[in-house]
Amino acid sequence: MRVQLLVTKTDFTVANIEREFRDLGIGYQVNYLEDHPELVSRHNLRHSPNILIDGELAFQHQPTETELKAYFQQLKQRH
């Protein structure tokens, strides 16, 4: 599973989301929107933060740890 955190370089929520990923044991990659205009265009992104999971836009806001936990539990049940 590939988890990408798509954020702007000035997004102050990054540290919180990274902590939530670490608390849940989820590996992730940070991509800055300024460096990846193709992702902005492909996913029609207008805000930060965004989370892609396996290339699919899963969140267009800062999810709570509870939201993340529920999402990943649902993913595990499907696979």
Half-sphere exposure in the Cβ direction for 25 (13 Å, CA)? 1
Number of H helices and E strands in the chain, helices first, is 3, 4
Domains annotated on the chain, with CATH: 3-78 (3.40.30.10)
The pLDDT, as a whole number, for residue 24 is 92
The pLDDT, as a whole number, for residue 36 is 94
The pLDDT, as a whole number, for residue 37 is 94
pTM of the model: 0.91
Within 10 A of 62 (CB to CB), how many other CB atoms are there? 19
Residue 58 CB partners (closer than 8 Å, separation 6+): 51, 52, 71
As averages over each run of 10 residues, the pLDDT of the chain (79 residues) reads: 95 94 94 95 94 94 93 86
